[in-house]
A and B are shown apart, each in its own frame.
Chain A
Amino acid sequence: MPLIEIQDLHATVDGKEIIKGLSLTINPGEVHALMGPNGAGKSTLSNVIAGREGYEVTGGRVLFDGRDIADMEADERATAGIFLAFQYPVEIPGVATTTFLKAAMNAKRRAHGEGEIDAMQFLKLLRAQQKELDIPDEMIKRPVNMGYSGGEKKRAEALQMAMLQPRFCILDETDSGLDIDALKVVSDGVNKLRTAERGFLVITHYQRLLNYIVPDFVHVFAGGRIVKSGGKELALELEEKGYAEFAEQAA
């Protein structure tokens, strides 16, 4: 069964149609890259899948594990295994990072009929992932994302992903605001999570990220739908030619 199946999806924001008939199937173990110019609706797609309020599906559907997610709230989608790594992770003053991580992990465990995570086990997991992603204790001691640099925020997103072990991950412009070192660290973190069961949708404007997270498939997204699909070489082609040609196709 496909992990995620987007069927002729139409979605509006503030009454304006942004996604205009998008279809995409991602199987377990696959990494798909969705590339497109600014304003194509890339972030709208990630918000629609994650279940953000204000993003209205007006046609088509999204199946996760064969189940239509239309009636699932954002938190239910998350506990079911959908994870969105934000383009702009949100700073939350006063909420301790560990409190937040524990609440998220316990929410997932509860949804799967498991008890709360043991404090020692949690710390052990956290330490291990911090090491992988080069996240110092000092960062963890701060409230959620507070005062993090762009690179630190993306590393923190990767940390959450690693702790929560989702089945399907959307990386929304994860490369934006990253220098090359941070890009490598975050990509390494993501690559370690690539397993036969897990799927990824990597949303990006630039080909650069795909040197580190090598996709199985690349899709060109323009004018609210996919206008071309291919292998990883398509990303290089895009880098060379730009999006102009596809933008015309979409129009």
Chain B
Amino acid sequence: MAETQSLTTAATGSVPAPFAALLERAPDTLPGGRIDWVRKAREEGAKLFLAHGVPTVKVEQWKYTNLRALLKIPFQVADGAAALGLTDLPAGDALTVDAHVLVFVNGRFAPELSDLEALPAAIRVDSLAKLLETEPHLVEPWFGRLADAGTLPFAALNQAGLLDGFAVRVREGAMIERPVHIVQVSAAEGAPTVHQPRNLIVLEAGASATVLESWIGATHADGPQTLRNSVTEVYVAPRANLRHCILQNLPETAYSIAATAAKVEEGAVYDSFVLQIGGKLSRHDLRVEMAGEHAEAHLNGAYGAMGDQLMDTTSYIDHAVPCCTSNEVYKGVLADTAKGVFQGKILVRRPAQKTDGNQLHKALLLDRGAEVNCKPELEIYADDVKCSHGATAGEMDATALFYLRSRGIDPQTARALLIEGFLDDVVDRIASESLRQAFADMIHVWQDRRLAAASRSAA
């Protein structure tokens, strides 16, 4: 602790008080506080975060996402569900789909809101804090190894302040049909709070499972702000197949900085879908390491932003070995003065011959004040690869609009159909029909929200 504190003092003042508070907790009382490697990881996280500081727009990776407003908020470290007295969840905010539902409030497991009963034996879902107490060896091989605290400043902060999160583990060869749905609630009462979920998903060799995440809030639209700084490390062992879907539907008082880092081994498939429709400022770092030959990654996503929301997807796909495939399609709709950011990098290392890497980002701008910043990046060192990237940003297609209107559809409905269609087009890439429906429903919710806001401001 002494070392951490001296580091805080030594820091240039670029680390604001709320974050410093996250670093200054007595380590012995924290989960895994007596385990040597956990303490070391915390210390390492603190050191790296202090070395980074909070990134400014001068840092290339944060060029379009300004955190200045965030730093002015006096966040306090958040309590869990029990302390908040949270007894049920807001209805309709999370994905609606048949699944094993587990709830985490401010990153801490809320057993009273969860349903662990029907989980098959081949899949385990634990609280990371509990696992650190009982079976730390199930955490150690992955913790901090997949999400690189050296290049992700907020992952370093998360590592330093490690408290709790979810841990999913699917046993070798197990085919889990029913999805596991982790509902993660950001909640604050009275004062603004910060919480740092630390999650782990491990699929053993040949396993197959679907993990869903819904990030939602439990505070009113005019309630205190929350900051969710999450890290999810994902390990997909050889021949395993993970469908990983995330819904970010936080209230407009919420800030979200999230990193998902996956390592995909030989012949394995990581199939990810992320829909962002909430939050005031939301950054998602998606990092995928193609670590074994013939691995596949499908990274698709959509976002709908309005008002003065900012939604940022920064992805980094690392092709380290030959014969892997990665496909990434993201589409966003931006209304009012909302801002979208898509930074997509594909790195193809010298040994990664026969790489097939494709990336596409499309943005639809509904209003003059809306803005999108797109930065695709291909860095290729192998000479026998098939890689592409593309980006478009534009207004609504007048020809399509006329086509719909020529069939009698009124302009408002026609626009709504085209906007939803624009996003549903990516949702269609989800293989499971019930999940497709669940995400299409959420896009519809967003659309209704947008129309309601538009009619409010018109009134």
Contact = CB atoms under 8 A, between A and B. Distances in A.
Interface of A: 50-53, 73-75, 77-79, 83-84, 86, 89-90, 92-95, 99-100, 103-104, 107-108, 111, 143, 160, 164
Contact of A95 (B402, B411, B418): B418
Nearest to B417: A95
Contacts of A73: 405, 411
B24 interface: no
Given A99-B417, A103-B413, A103-B417, A94 B408 contact: no
A160 B424 CA distance: 22
Interface of B: 397-400, 402-411, 413-414, 417-418, 420-425, 427-428
Given A75-B409, A164-B407, 5 more contacts: A78-B407, A86-B406, A92-B418, A94-B422, A107-B407
B402 A53 contact: yes
Nearest to B443: A94
Given A78-B407, A107-B408, A52 B402 contact: yes
Contact of B421 (A53, A83, A104, A143): A143
A74 B409 CA distance: 9
B424 A75 contact: no
Nearest to A163: B407
A93 B405 CA distance: 16
Contact of B409 (A89, A94, A107, A143): A107
A204 to B, nearest CB: 19
B406 A78 contact: yes
Nearest to A104: B407
A111 B409 CA distance: 10
Contacts of A86: 403, 406
Given A53-B398, A75-B411, A90-B399, A84 B421 contact: no
B270 to A, nearest CB: 24
Contacts of A89: 403
Contacts of A93: 421-422, 425
A53 to B, nearest CB: 7
Contacts of B418: 92, 95
A157 to B, nearest CB: 10
A103 B410 CA distance: 9
6 contacts: A75-B405, A75-B411, A92-B418, A93-B425, A95-B418, A100-B407
Consensus secondary structure, chain B interface: helix
The residue in B407, B408, B417, B425 that gathers the most chain A C-beta atoms within 10 A of its C-beta is B408
The residue in B398, B400, B405, B411 that gathers the most chain A C-beta atoms within 10 A of its C-beta is B405
A143 B402 CA distance: 17
Contact of A104 (B399, B409, B428): B409
Given A74-B402, A84-B406, A100-B404, A94 B428 contact: yes
Given A75-B411, A99-B417, A92 B406 contact: no
Contacts of A108: 408
A94 B404 CA distance: 14
Given A75-B405, A99-B417, A143-B425, A92 B400 contact: yes
Contacts of B411: 73, 75
Nearest to A93: B425
Contacts of A104: 404, 407-409
Contacts of A53: 398, 402
A78 B404 CA distance: 10
Contacts of B413: 103, 107
A50 B422 contact: no
Contacts of A50: 406
Contacts of A164: 407-408
Given A53-B402, A86-B403, A103-B413, A92 B408 contact: no
Contact of B405 (A74, A83, A160): A74
Contacts of A143: 421, 425, 428
B257 to A, nearest CB: 29
Contacts of A111: 408
Contacts of B400: 90, 92
A2 B407 CA distance: 23
Counting from the closest, the 9 A-B pairs by CB-CB distance are A94-B421, A94-B425, A95-B421, A78-B408, A94-B424, A107-B408, A104-B407, A90-B403, A74-B405
Contact of B420 (A79, A83, A94, A107): A94
A141 B150 CA distance: 47
B366 to A, nearest CB: 15
Given A74-B405, A78-B405, A95-B418, A107 B410 contact: yes
Contacts of B406: 50-52, 74-75, 77-78, 83-84, 86
A74 B420 CA distance: 22
A92 B407 contact: no
Nearest to A74: B405
A100 B402 contact: no
B420 to A, nearest CB: 7
A94 B420 CA distance: 7
Contacts of A90: 397, 399-400, 403
A74 B422 CA distance: 22
Nearest to B426: A94
Contacts of B407: 75, 78, 100, 103-104, 107, 160, 164
A73 B413 CA distance: 14
Contacts of B399: 90
A93 B428 CA distance: 10
Given A52-B402, A94-B423, A94-B424, A100 B417 contact: yes
A83 B407 CA distance: 7
B418 to A, nearest CB: 7
A73 B423 CA distance: 27
A103 B409 contact: yes
Contacts of A103: 404, 407, 409, 413, 417
B277 to A, nearest CB: 16
